[in-house]
Amino acid sequence: MTLEFQVGDYILLKVSPIKGVQQFGRRGKLSPGYIDPFRIVERIGVVSYRLDILASMSSIHSVFHVSMLKKHLSDKEQQRVLDAPEIELQDNLITIEIPVCIIAREDKRLRNKVIHLVKV
């Protein structure tokens, strides 16, 4: 199964952490795995795409294999509303939690203490 993108989609470009290759952003452990969202300008063949890259990156070829690309999700696609139960807060912002049922009990022994563990 190959990934497919449409012309006009925004994607992230995977960058290589190999020495001697152009660096993007920070170096070392904090170097990014993917950079900037780029717009797909054209589909070339079955598995390659031409990207609208920045002028500052003119030393990089603008055609990339699909394995180097990852779909960029806009903020609206990333924000999902989950169904959460209503939570009642008191004036001092404390909630009252009522356990539904106790599944398991266990006593954990340390050197001089016994800790009671309860799975709810």
Please write the tens of the pLDDT for every residue from 70-103: 888 776 656 666 676 777 777 888 877 777 888 9
Question: Taking the CA of residue 79 as centre, how many other CA atoms within 13 Å lie in the half-sphere pointing to its CB?
Answer: 3
Average pLDDT, the chain: 79
Residue ranges in the chain assigned as alpha helix (H): 75-78
Residue 60 CA from chain centroid, whole number: 25
Long-range CB contacts (within 8 A, 24+) of 97-105: none
pLDDT level of residue 13 (50, 70, 90 thresholds):
confident
Q: What are phi and psi of 51, to 5 degrees?
A: -105, 155
Question: Between these two residues, 81 and 67, which has the higher pLDDT value?
Answer: 67
For the chain, report the end-to-end CA distance as a whole number of angstroms: 43
User: How far apart (Å, rounded) are the C-alpha atoms in residues 58 and 2?
Assistant: 28
- For residue 41, the model assigns a pLDDT of 92
Please write the tens of the pLDDT for every residue from 29-48: 666 778 878 888 999 988 88
